Amino acid sequence: MDLPNNTIDRVCRIFGCLESLEERQVDFVSSKDLAQAIGTTNDTIRKDISLLGVTGYTRKGYSVVSLKKELGQTLKLDKKRKACIVGLGRLGTALLDYERFKQDGFEIVAGFDNSINKLERIKTHIDVFAISEMENIIAQKSIELGIITVPANNAQEVADELIKAGVSGILNFSPEKIVVPKEIIYLDMDFTSALRFIAARFITNKLRKSRVA
Amino acid sequence: MDLPNNTIDRVCRIFGCLESLEERQVDFVSSKDLAQAIGTTNDTIRKDISLLGVTGYTRKGYSVVSLKKELGQTLKLDKKRKACIVGLGRLGTALLDYERFKQDGFEIVAGFDNSINKLERIKTHIDVFAISEMENIIAQKSIELGIITVPANNAQEVADELIKAGVSGILNFSPEKIVVPKEIIYLDMDFTSALRFIAARFITNKLRKSRVA
DNA sequence: GGGTGTGAAGATTTTCACAGCA
DNA sequence: TGCTGTGAAAATCTTCACACCC
């Protein structure tokens, strides 16, 4: 399959909306509602959904439950995935305990840091290890995703090790830019760039947009 | 001015690269280097820069210092901006003390939460207030940016109050989708959507992309 | 040679417009 | 009527190709 990046981005957000609609026991949702929630047009939503080959119910909109199920199956969002966090500073430890991840299908199964001190002080039910153990643990636990929350300066090094250890996707919260081989799926979540994006948009007059990250 | 959204996104990231090149005292950088750092092509970089009306030095690439200065001036990224954080859980407090923001020109000047308990317990040099004081404080301190780190369920309510109080941009870390009037610049930094984006890309064969958050 | 700058071509993405359906 | 589904048109974004410059 070969979908537009933007479509994938939007579908992931749509999936999140469906999740909360499901919790609130809403049965049907229209392309217009979804469009409003994620900040796009109803045409785009319908096109996205149709690109995935999924079909709704005329006149009533889409069945929340079945749309969620179908999108999930198509993009394999229903599969549970294991992730680890490297860098257990304040952000890293906050993410370690971010309960939402688990309920959304991403289980954080390990944390890594180089400071013995931190490893000892951390109170969490998730196992934490020294970075030197990363390669073993990742292989052993079949971890697919790496979340980088180290300070700048050794983010690249950490990324290289994650890749060597076998993860296929990396989410980078550090401000440092990272270069990865193109078979690795990589997403940059630099907070400063995000704030700058907003600030820069103050002086342009375009419509808002989600910007995947 | 009316720039492509993607261009703005990339320029904000380029700006970050320039910042770190400057720290490392690198004098010149080529479009190719920048392309590699942010994950795009050199054509795109040159086009982006030229869209902003900025010009480099043939053969040597761009002067780091002057490119940074010009991009900064054009997109007003050199201007200091004040921000506040609403929701002082673990993520919110981590961001309160995220020192990088200040050095990047974004000063966090207030934190808000509804729990008196949290307000009392927090150790930080930044002033914290009850949410009921938001409107006053935001006006009084001329805060332009709101960062939402409350748990889902009242993110929309918080956004509405931020807007009423006068912020022009919102960065939303909560998993809840928020609807804002279109004159407000809004960016969604939902972690789960980001992880899903990566997971979904596992089954497609497209090149990586930055996706603004 | 090794880089930038940029119109034009090409590719992709979004929007439009309308058929179809319950 | 109200909403989906989808080709076709429009708009946007990226890549190409080559002039130009030190």
Q: Kindly determine whether residue A213 and residue B200, on different chains, have CB atoms separated by under 8 Å.
A: no
pLDDT at residue B100 is higher than 50? yes
Mean pLDDT of A158-183: 96
> In this predicted structure, what is the pLDDT of residue B182?
84
> In this predicted structure, what is the pLDDT of residue B1?
58
- Please state whether strand D lies within 7 Å of residue B4 at its CB atom: yes
Q: Kindly determine whether residue B188 and residue A177, on different chains, have CB atoms separated by under 8 Å.
A: no
Write down all domains in chain A, each with its CATH number in brackets. Answer: 5-73 (1.10.10.10), 81-193 (3.40.50.720)
Q: Which tokens hold the place of B111?
A: 């934190």
Length, in residues, of chain B: 213
Over residues A189-209, the pLDDT tens digits come to 999 999 999 999 998 754 444
Q: What's the Cα-to-Cα distance from A177 to each of A39, A43, B33, B130, rounded to whole Å?
A: 28, 35, 12, 37
Work out the angle at residue A18's Cα, subtended by the Cα atoms of residues A13 and A19, and round it to the nearest 5 degrees. 95
Q: Mean pLDDT over all residues of chain A?
A: 93
Mean pLDDT of B193-212: 75
Chain B neighbours among A 89-108 (CB < 8 Å)?
A: 89-91, 93-95, 97-98, 100-101, 104, 106
pLDDT at residue B213 is higher than 50? no
Over residues A17-57, the pLDDT tens digits come to 999 999 999 999 999 999 999 999 999 999 999 999 998 88
**Beta strand spans in B21-97 (E):** 28-29, 62-63, 81-86
> In this predicted structure, what is the pLDDT of residue A182?
84
> In this predicted structure, what is the pLDDT of residue B207?
44
Residue that is written with structure tokens 């409003």 in the block:
A36
Mean pLDDT of B65-81: 96
> In this predicted structure, what is the pLDDT of residue B210?
44
Mean pLDDT of A86-95: 96
> In this predicted structure, what is the pLDDT of residue A202?
92
User: Which nucleotide C1' is nearest A59 CA?
Assistant: D3
> In this predicted structure, what is the pLDDT of residue A67?
96
Over residues B2-25, the pLDDT tens digits come to 788 899 999 999 999 999 999 999
Q: How far apart are CA A29 and CA A139, in angstroms?
A: 41
> In this predicted structure, what is the pLDDT of residue A1?
58
Mean pLDDT of A101-111: 97
> In this predicted structure, what is the pLDDT of residue B55?
87
pLDDT at residue A154 is higher than 60? yes
**How far does the CA of B84 sit from the C1' of D10, in Å?**
41
pLDDT at residue B206 is higher than 60? no
Q: Which of A26, A32, A33 is nearest to A63 (CA)?
A: A26
Give the β-pairing of A128-130 and A106-113: parallel
Q: Which residues of A touch B190 (CB under 8 A)?
A: 13, 16
Per-residue confidence at B146, pLDDT binned at 50, 70, 90?
very high
Q: What's the Cα-to-Cα distance from A105 to each of A47, A77, A98, A197, B33, rounded to whole Å?
A: 26, 8, 12, 29, 37
> In this predicted structure, what is the pLDDT of residue A198?
96
- Chain C bases closer than 7 A to any CB of the protein: 1-7, 12-17, 20-22
Looking at the partner chain, which of B81, B168, B187 has a beta carbon nearest the beta carbon of A194?
A: B187
Mean pLDDT of A139-156: 96
Q: Mean pLDDT over all residues of chain B?
A: 93
